[in-house]
């Protein structure tokens, strides 16, 4: 009898197209799910008959309570090599092997700049006006050359965002709790004296930090109040780094020029979520990692993970 493998959140229905699953054909039945399961009860019922689950990023939590309800589950594969919503101790206790995949940092860099440029030049508003017979030129674009880009975080993604900013002729500064002057100079940017100074001085602020106890709620009402009324905030990292209610208030009250957001407190967003209708907001449905090459890696490595598990030698084990 073949094992059954569930592929979660395959919204574009491409998981079985971007990678070659044929090496598993004799041993594994692959079943993609193109819709999201909104709660643990629904998810547990849907996955009850599966031996293997492939989950996309950190959208679906696998707490101890869920793992205990999946007695057939033996292999859980998460895209990327870091996942904060899987209870690894519970997985081990129930005999579930957890593996990851490689993940490229370039797609979120590119999306960061798509959001930033879209905001700066009013791309969506102008395009919609052109297509709908609206006014010809109704916005005045914000220049990038000579303006200041402030980066919260200067890791793999932040440093690449910095390089693009420098190529645009921007002044680039960065800050994080552990960032050193030597690291900033290595990337070619200035180390801000403090988070507050970075926010106060920047025309564009982009967040590239991992979510942790130290970064959760890092930007709240007091921090957002430091931004210039002409400044833009970009978040392609994690929603919880910015207090969502405080961000919505700043947008509705026009205290910042706008925000570009790819991450949300609930994903997928409910139809009535206030982020769907907030003014001055350019929002995308968590597209940071969604690219052809990245998906080919995710699902190609998932096939390799399953093959290795079946051979008795799991690879890319987490945590």
Residues labelled as active-site residues? 238, 267, 286
284 token code pair? 């995308």
Cis peptide before 44 (omega within 30 of 0): no
Q: Are 251 and 258 in contact (CB under 8 A)?
A: yes
Helix (H) or strand (E) holding 148: strand 148-152
Secondary-structure breakdown of the chain: helix, strand, coil percentages, each rounded to the nearest 5:
35, 15, 50
**Cα dihedral 108, 114, 120, 125 sign:** negative
Three-class secondary structure of residue 144 per DSSP = coil
| Residues across the chain | 319
Q: How far is CA 64 from CA 28, 40, 61, 67, 83, in A?
A: 26, 11, 10, 5, 15
The Cα–Cα gap between 32 and 43 comes to 14
Q: What is the phi/psi pair of residue 191, to 5°?
A: -90, 120
Which residue reads 């996955």 in tokens?
A: 47
Q: Which of 268, 270, 196 is nearest to 227 (CA)?
A: 196
Torsion from C-alpha of 61, 64, 66, 67, nearest 10 degrees = 110
Q: Determine phi and psi for 124, rounding to 5 degrees.
A: -65, -45
CA atoms within 13 A on the CB side of 239: 20
Q: Name the token pair of 242.
A: 């910015």
């Amino acid at each position: 009898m073949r094992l059954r493998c569930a592929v979660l959140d395959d919204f574009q229905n491409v998981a079985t197209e971007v990678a070659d699953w044929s090496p598993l054909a004799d041993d594994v039945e692959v079943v993609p799910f193109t819709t999201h399961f909104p709660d643990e009860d629904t998810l547990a019922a849907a996955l009850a008959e599966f031996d293997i689950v492939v989950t996309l990023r950190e959208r679906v939590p696998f707490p101890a309570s869920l793992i205990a309800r999946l007695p057939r589950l033996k292999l859980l594969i998460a895209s990327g090599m870091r996942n904060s919503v899987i209870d690894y101790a519970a997985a081990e206790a129930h005999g579930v092997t957890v593996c990851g995949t490689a993940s490229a940092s370039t797609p979120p860099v590119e999306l960061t700049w798509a959001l930033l440029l879209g905001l700066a030049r009013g791309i969506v508003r102008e395009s919609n006006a052109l297509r709908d017979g609206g006014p010809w030129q109704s916005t005045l674009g914000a220049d990038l050359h000579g303006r200041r880009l402030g980066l919260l975080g200067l890791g793999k993604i932040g440093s690449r965002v910095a390089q693009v900013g420098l190529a645009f002729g921007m002044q680039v500064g960065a800050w994080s709790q552990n960032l050193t002057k030597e690291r900033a100079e290595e990337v070619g940017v200035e180390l801000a004296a403090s988070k507050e100074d970075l926010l106060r001085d920047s025309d564009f602020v982009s967040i590239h930090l991992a979510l942790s106890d130290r970064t959760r709620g890092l930007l709240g009402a007091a921090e957002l109040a430091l931004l210039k009324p002409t400044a833009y905030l970009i978040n392609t990292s994690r929603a919880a780094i910015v207090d969502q209610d405080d961000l919505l208030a700043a947008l509705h009250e026009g205290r910042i020029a706008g925000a570009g957001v790819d991450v949300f407190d609930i994903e997928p967003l409910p139809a009535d979520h206030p982020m769907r209708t907030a003014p001055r907001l350019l929002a995308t449905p968590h597209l940071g990692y969604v690219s052809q090459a990245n998906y080919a890696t995710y699902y190609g490595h998932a096939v390799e993970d399953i093959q290795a598990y079946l051979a008795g030698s799991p690879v890319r084990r987490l945590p």
